[in-house]
Amino acid sequence: MKFTEGMLREGSLKDKNILVTGGGTGLGRSMSEYFLKLGANLVISSRKLDVLEETAKEMTANTSGRVIPVACDVRDIDQVEAMWEKAKSELGQIHVVLNNAAGNFISPTERLSTNAFNTVLDIVLKGTSQVTLTAGKDWIAQKQGGTFLNIVTTYAWTGSGYVVPSAAAKAGVLALTRSLAVEWAKYGIRSNAIAPGPFPTEGAWSRLLPGDLVKKFDPAKKVPVGRVGEHQELANLAAYLVSDFSAYVNGEVITIDGGEWLKGAGEFNNLDQIPQEMWDMMEASRGKKS
């Protein structure tokens, strides 16, 4: 068994209808592909219908499950409500919402226009809350329960310069996740989050490590386990969290980053740059004194 392999047994998500925002590309697509493999039916949504349609076609080429592409800008509540109605009319009851859509780019904060800052806040925090409220209200009204899984980042709690709107918005999504985990548990609604470390995707890499930055700031070098994430690793965790196997997990944020954020947090963690010979020398000089 390897970490690049699927973890859950066949049929683990059978009869689950799952809505994935940002499901046409990157990590949303990878998680969706695995859900489909495990027996789920999907609605994948984002702004670009052509991308969604192509993804849906490729995903369903070798499987029997259904993948419905629905265009929706999560910043627009009318589009969100229309997406929800379309999802239900195509698949019936929706059991799981994966809030994965996001927008982000690097910039010194003082260079951001008001519109630039608001654009990221609106996609990430307003978009997630609008999808959550639309689904949650319906689940409560129908007395049916449901499961939310929200994709955040580790800088949701550490903060981070140069991606400040994203950090502020993801912190809000994390607060939303934990708050509703308590408030809506009585309706049979669970809310959890995943905080991924670096997982290569075209969308993230082109905006966060544009041009030569990817060579200069090799993300793998910041990760104690010495590599970036494999999409299947994230898909395995996500599939568990949306499945009934995780029925007692509620209000949790699970980090999957090879230890990256803790390495940045520890005061002396950068001493791993000291070579073994220097530690030998220090040890030897200590020995002489005693």
Residue ranges that bind ligand NAP, judged by CB under 6 A: 21-22, 24-28, 46-48, 51, 72-75, 100-103, 123, 127, 151, 153, 196, 198-199, 201, 203-204
The crossing angle, in degrees rounded to 10, of helices 127-142 and 164-183 is 10
User: Would you give the DSSP letter of residue 129?
Assistant: H
Count Cα neighbours of 136 within 13 Å in the Cβ-side half-sphere. Answer: 22
Judged by CB under 6 A, which of 60, 79, 107, 144 binds ligand HXC?
107
Among 155, 187, 240, 248, which one carries the catalytic annotation? 155
Binding flag, residue 145, ligand HXC (CB under 6 A): no
240 labelled catalytic: no
CA distance 266 to 286: 25
Binding flag, residue 113, ligand HXC (CB under 6 A): yes
CB-based closest residue to ligand HXC: 103
Among ligand NAP, ligand HXC, none, partner that 28 touches (CB below 5 to 8 angstroms by kind): ligand NAP
CB-based closest residue to ligand NAP: 203
Q: Closer to ligand HXC by CB, 86 or 207: give it.
A: 207
Q: Closer to ligand NAP by CB, 72 or 176: give it.
A: 72
Q: Apex CA 262: angle with CA 256 and CA 267, to 5°?
A: 170
Nearest approach in angstroms of CB 264 to ligand HXC is 12
Helix (H, G, I), strand (E, B) or coil at 237: helix
Q: Closer to ligand HXC by CB, 144 or 160: give it.
A: 160
Pairing between strand 253-256 and 96-99? unpaired
Q: Are 11 and 39 in contact (CB under 8 A)?
A: yes
Q: What is the largest CA-CA distance in the chain?
A: 79
Q: Are 204 and 104 in contact (CB under 8 A)?
A: yes
The crossing angle, in degrees rounded to 10, of helices 49-60 and 26-37 is 30
Per-residue contact flags (x/-) with ligand HXC for residues 184 to 223, judged by CB under 6 A: --------------x----xx--xx---------------
Point out which span in 30-38, 55-63, 107-115, 239-247 binds ligand HXC (CB under 6 A).
Answer: 107-115
Binding flag, residue 103, ligand HXC (CB under 6 A): yes
Q: Please give the structure tokens belonging to residue 178.
A: 């934990």
Per DSSP, helices labelled H in 92-163 are 114-121, 127-142, 155-158
- Point out which residues bind ligand HXC (CB under 6 A): 102-105, 107, 112-113, 115-116, 119-120, 153, 166, 198, 203-204, 207-208
Just list the catalytic residues.
155
